[in-house]
Amino acid sequence: MAHAENEVSINRSANDVYAFLANGLNNTLWRPAVKTVALASGEAGNQGAVYSQTMAGPGGRTIAGDYEITAAQPGKRLDFQVIAGPARPTGSFTLNDNDGGTTVRFTLDLQPKGFMKLMGSMITKTMEVEVGQLGQLKSVLEAQSA
């Protein structure tokens, strides 16, 4: 199984961080690979909501990266499953109060199947880049007025 995780402390409340993450339309603000995103179905930020994403892929082409929110616990945890595209990891954001701010842990897991098993190290590296973007999330959220 491919796995990647990262953690960062953000000087915002857990509810503020959660609200930002749960609104998938914010993905373009902190994840450079996301080119477009739209709410495809469900209620924004709630379990069952599906977001349609177009992402930068290899060689400059775009790939689908649609995902569904699989668990939503405001101020605590947000889980998702990628449902379109070449790789379909599961992920979670876990939030913990930390001295007036919030510690955010972002994890991604993928069980490669078929030919993807041969690309394990490349998949892990891509996932590490993705979770590494928590620093950008921190910058965006801390620049916003509370």
Number of domains making up the chain = 1
**Tell me, what CATH number does 130's domain have?**
3.30.530.20
Measured between alpha carbons, how far is 86 from 30 in angstroms, rounded to an integer? 22
Cα separation of 30 and 15, whole Å? 18
Range of the domain at 105: 2-143
pLDDT tens, position by position, for the chain (146 residues)? 889 999 999 999 999 999 999 999 999 999 999 999 999 999 999 999 999 999 988 788 899 999 999 999 999 999 999 999 877 899 999 999 988 899 999 999 988 666 555 555 667 788 788 899 999 999 999 998 65
3-state secondary structure of 132: coil
Tally DSSP H helices, then E strands, for the chain: 4, 8
